[in-house]
Amino acid sequence: MAKTQSFQIEGMDCAEEATILRRELGPLVGGADQLSFDVLNGLMNVPDAIVTKVGVASIVAAVAKTGMKATPIAEGKPLEAEDVDRHRRRIMLLVSISGAMTLIGFVTQGISAANFMDVFRETNRSMDAVPISAKAFYSAAILAGVWTFLPKAWAAIRRFRPDMNLLMVVAVAGAVYLGDWLEAAMVAFLFTLSLALESWSVGRARRAVAALMNLTPPKVRVISGQETKEVLAAEVTVGTKFVVRPGDRIPLDGRVITGTSEVDQSPLTGESVPVPKTVGEEVFAGTVNGSTALEVESTKLADQTTVANIIRMVGEAQSKRAPSEQWVDTFARYYTPIVMLTAPAIFIVGGAITGDYTSWLYRGLVLLVIACPCALVISTPVSIVAALAGATRRGILIKGGPYVEAPAHLRAIAFDKTGTLTAGRPEVTAVVPFQDHDERALLERAVALESQSSHPLAKAVMDYAKQKGVVGQAAAEVKAVPGKGATGIYDGREFWIGSHRYLEERGQETPDVHEQITKLSGEGRSVVVIGNADHVCGFLVLADTVRPAAAKTLAELREVGIQHLIMLSGDNQPTADAIARQVGVDEVHAELLPADKVSAMEKLVQRYEKVAMIGDGINDAPVLGRATVGIAMGGIGSDAAIETADIALMGDDLSQLPWLIRHSRQALAIIRQNIYFSLGIKAVFVVLTILGHASLWAAIAADTGASLLVLFNGLRLLRD
């Protein structure tokens, strides 16, 4: 991945600003696709090569043309929450000043008029009707309010792209011209309040992610000789040994070199049960050590850990616009200029018909205010951000708005077998002794012959024997028979261990043994036979066991409306069929090469249109890319899984799939509710405006109220 230079963008509170920056900086950096954005943290990332070519100053100047401000972030400098929230705190300060000045101006004007209700009467629409003292307070309120959006309005004029900031400036200026100082101040205050609410909602979503991800300790207890010393995590190199005390959070990704403990991985995966960790196993930054100290060797730098990758991708996901966002963006692009033309048309036509140009100018200004697409524009991005953050808290990494909505439309889901529907590792499921041997004696011989082997089946045999408390001595003169098995001397006699084919080659197979092994193989099981020169001692049955939650998960998927469940496997047909029967898959495609899986997925997409593929994110990369939605199992610890898929189940937990689909449908429902509500409010007020029954302050209050409602509605998606 190419290195990038980060710029903190002051004034970027939603994906709308990211779109403006792409449009403005695209020609400068060689295309909008060269830019990536972390809206939650207010960051824009530009490849180092482009920054070197065009210069930091040129990028900062280009951002300034949009009314925003760019500050380069020094390499390795952490982005503090104080820095991120500075702009949002300033907006809240200006909102407070504007609101207070508006209230004081209203009280001052009311006292002067001796009747507070007179302040709202149309007869007060003159420069002389408002006392100088009240005008001073109203002016301060207007100045504090427009200060937040005036730069963007000016940038919109310079770009010849009218936006909601420009609409509000025109409305405020028009109200002042008409002598409606109170309403001008109210428009400035309430619009700034709506911007503050939007900023707050994005900040809340950011804090929801930060609360989950900002778990990595800033310092590491590095082992130095016989002592430990604390150093900054950012300074620790790969291969450094460090200590994690009981109950401490693990500061870096690494491999356990001493100790056995249980680690709480729930911050990354959502798992409720701590995971046992022993020598040689991976641990991850941000997880919590159990009751035993661990010595760990770091395997990644602080900015390359699994947590760091998740934070980066969650941030970048904000700038990948969902279909609903794209529709709203397109709508607002045409809607705003039309409103800018409609308002003066109403003023001219209405004034010409009635002769009362002042009244129709006021109605035109009201139309500008109520037509402001603020609530509409923020309704979808906030919902998407909240949905992304809510899923991340659940241990599901969704890599952009399009993949928030996509699961809601799925008609079919295809599963890889190994590592997805099954555990991906063989386990001993039965021990079948012959002759006078018992289970323990058979396992002792198996352990003696397999103790030096690295084969997955050998490891499964050793693990099973350990569970049963069987510890055998290693056989002497062990010789591997490539692709078949091994021989060795145990207890003074030669024994062998191997596959069904090896048994057949030795000529020791009986009809009864052949029948048993053939039946087991047809059920998708592997058989390891043990014998000596005289007879077959017995055999072990191994199988890649079905995940405990697989059958229940597939049943729940049917309940939520996914009726087509398919398996795409490279394994043999009997094994695939056996697993399919256990979990409830209704369509099986087996013995597929990677290219065959892609072809099968293309046919499924033609048949069902919206199809997800669930795989391990590494071997299944081509088919994950071809599916409507690619979902990787076990994103934790697998950079390839995170990079390849559209969605990663960090906890390697299939049972999250039904929740993901329900979450996607809820997000889509909330987005539609927000859009319909925002447009409905505007339609009502447009009619009231034309009839002369709407005022500036009521229009902006309604728009702010609508903004507030859609914000809180969208933030419901933060909940698990």
Q: How many CA atoms lie within 13 A of 23 on its CB side?
A: 14
Mean pLDDT of 245-264: 91
Q: What is the mean pLDDT of residues 463-486?
A: 85
Kindly state the DSSP code that residue 122 receives in the 8-state scheme. G
Q: Whose CA is closest to 188, among 133, 131, 143? A: 143
Residue 375's pLDDT band, with cuts at 50, 70 and 90, is low
Q: For 431-453, what is each residue's pLDDT tens digit?
A: 999 878 888 989 999 999 988 88
123 pLDDT band (50/70/90 cuts)?
Answer: very low
Which of these CATH numbers, 3.30.1490.20, 3.40.1440.60, 3.40.50.720, 3.30.70.100, describes 4-79?
3.30.70.100
Q: Provide the H-helix boundaries in 37-149.
A: 48-54, 56-64, 81-113, 132-146
Q: Are 466 and 558 in contact (CB under 8 A)?
A: no
- Tell me the HSE value of 530 on the side-chain side, using a 13 A CA sphere: 29
Of 165-169, 245-249, 289-293, 578-582, the least confident: 165-169
- Quickly state the pLDDT bin for 625 (edges 50, 70, 90): confident
User: Does the structure show a pLDDT above 70 at 718?
Assistant: yes
- For residue 597, what are the contacts with CB-CB under 8 A and spacing of at least 6? 568, 570, 589, 620, 622, 623
Task: Assess contact for 242 and 296: CB atoms under 8 A.
Answer: yes
pLDDT at residue 715, as a whole number: 81
Q: Give 124's pLDDT tier (boundaries 50, 70, 90).
A: very low
pLDDT tens-digit map of 18-51:
778 888 898 898 887 788 777 666 788 888 889 8
Residue 97: the pLDDT is 94
Q: Which long-range contacts (CB under 8 A, 24 or more apart) does 438-441 make?
A: 439/468, 440/468, 440/470, 441/537
Contact 540, 430 (CB under 8 A): yes
Report the percentage of the chain scoring pLDDT > 90.
Answer: 20
Give me the CATH topology for the region 394-415+549-655: Rossmann fold (3.40.50)
Burial tier of 533 (Cβ tally within 10 Å: 0-12, 13-18, 19+): exposed
Give the number of other Cβ atoms within 10 Å of residue 35's Cβ: 22
Q: How many whole angstroms separate alpha carbon 300 and alpha carbon 393?
A: 23
Q: How far is CA 231 from the centre of its chain?
A: 31
Dist. CA 618–CA 648, nearest whole Å: 12
**pLDDT for the residue numbered 116:** 52
Q: How confident is the model at residue 78 (pLDDT cuts 50, 70, 90)?
A: very low
Higher pLDDT, 618 or 45: 45
What pLDDT shows up at residue 570?
79
Mean of the per-residue pLDDT values of the chain: 82
CA dihedral 406, 412, 418, 420 (to 10 degrees): 50
Whether 363 shows a pLDDT value over 80: the answer reads yes
Indicate whether 127 pLDDT > 50: no
Nearest to 137 by CA among 79, 181, 86, 198: 181
- When pLDDT is averaged across residues 390-414 and rounded to a whole number, the result is 88
Q: Are strands 647-649 and 629-633 parallel, antiparallel or unpaired?
A: parallel
Q: Which of 664, 161, 718, 630 lies closest to 420, judged by CA?
A: 630
Q: Are 117 and 41 in contact (CB under 8 A)?
A: no
- Nearest-CA neighbor of 196 among 69, 98, 79, 306? 98
**Residue 24 burial (CB count, 10 A):** 19
Task: Over range 145-161, report the average pLDDT.
Answer: 82
Residue with tokens 């943290």, as numbered in its chain: 41
Task: Please report the pLDDT score of residue 79 as a whole number.
Answer: 45
Residue 495's pLDDT is what? 92
- Percentage of the chain lying above the pLDDT 70 cut: 85
Strand residues in 176-312 grouped as ranges (E): 219-224, 227-232, 241-244, 254-258, 261-264, 275-277, 282-283, 288-289, 294-298
- For residues 585 and 566, the answer to whether their CB atoms sit within 8 Å is yes
Residue 295: Cβ-neighbour burial (10 angstroms; 0-12, 13-18, 19+) = middle
Q: Cα(first)–Cα(last) distance of the chain, in Å?
A: 32
Residue type present at position 540: L
Taking Cα atoms as reference points, which of 381, 314, 375 lies closest to residue 15?
A: 381
Measure the CA–CA gap between 542 and 520, rounded to whole angstroms: 10
Residue, of 302 and 425, whose pLDDT is higher:
302
DSSP state of 130: S
Of 38, 163, 416, 646, which is the active-site residue?
Answer: 416
Q: What confidence score (pLDDT) does residue 256 get? A: 94
| Strands of the sheet with 43-47, listed across from one edge | 36-38, 43-47, 4-10, 69-72
Are 512 and 519 contacting, i.e. CB atoms less than 8 angstroms apart?
no
pLDDT at 243 over 90: yes
Torsion on CA atoms 393, 396, 397, 403, rounded to nearest 10: -120
The pLDDT value given to residue 242: 95
Q: pLDDT tens, 189-232? A: 877 887 777 677 666 666 655 565 566 788 999 998 888 899 99
Residue count of the chain, please give it.
720
Spatial distance between the Cα atoms of 155 and 65, rounded to a whole number of angstroms: 6
- Give ∠ CA 596-599-602 in degrees, rounded to 5: 150
585-619 residues labelled b (16+ CB within 10 A) or e (exposed): beebbbebeeeebbebbeebbeebebbbbbbbbbb
596 is catalytic: no
Kindly indicate whether the domain formed by 423-546 is annotated with CATH number 3.40.1110.10.
yes
Which pLDDT belongs to residue 92?
A: 83
Give me the amino acid identity at 123: T
117-131, 268-282, 320-334, 672-686 — most confident range: 672-686
3-state secondary structure of 125: coil
For residue 251, name the pLDDT band (cuts at 50, 70, 90): very high
Alpha carbon dihedral 213, 215, 219, 223, in 10-degree steps, equals: -100
Report which of 206, 208, 205 is spatially closest to residue 267, judged by C-alpha positions: 208
Q: What residue spans define the domains of the chain?
A: 4-79, 84-209+316-385+670-718, 219-304, 394-415+549-655, 423-546
What is 505-570 written as a DSSP string? HHT---HHHHHHHHHHHHTT-EEEEEEESS-EEEEEEEEEEEPTTHHHHHHHHHHTT--EEEEE-S
pLDDT at 112: 67
| Least confident among 11-20, 54-63, 188-197 | 11-20
Place of tokens 């002369």: 692
Mean pLDDT, residues 596-616 taken together: 91
Please report, as a single letter, which amino acid is at residue 79: L
What token pair was written down for 619? 């071997």
Q: With contact defined as beta carbons under 8 Å apart, do 16 and 294 qualify?
A: no
Name the pLDDT band for 551 (thresholds 50, 70, 90).
very high
What's the CATH number of domain 219-304, 2.70.150.10, 3.50.50.60, 3.30.450.20, 1.20.1630.10? Answer: 2.70.150.10
pLDDT digits (tens, 9 = 90+) for 627-671: 999 998 876 656 666 677 889 888 778 889 999 999 999 999 998
Over 50: is that where the pLDDT of 344 sits?
Answer: yes
* Residue 378: count of CB within 10 angstroms of its CB: 30
How confident is residue 77, by pLDDT bands cut at 50, 70 and 90?
very low
Whether the CB-CB separation of 671 and 383 falls below 8 Å is answered with yes
Closest among 197, 263, 249 to 218, alpha carbons compared: 249
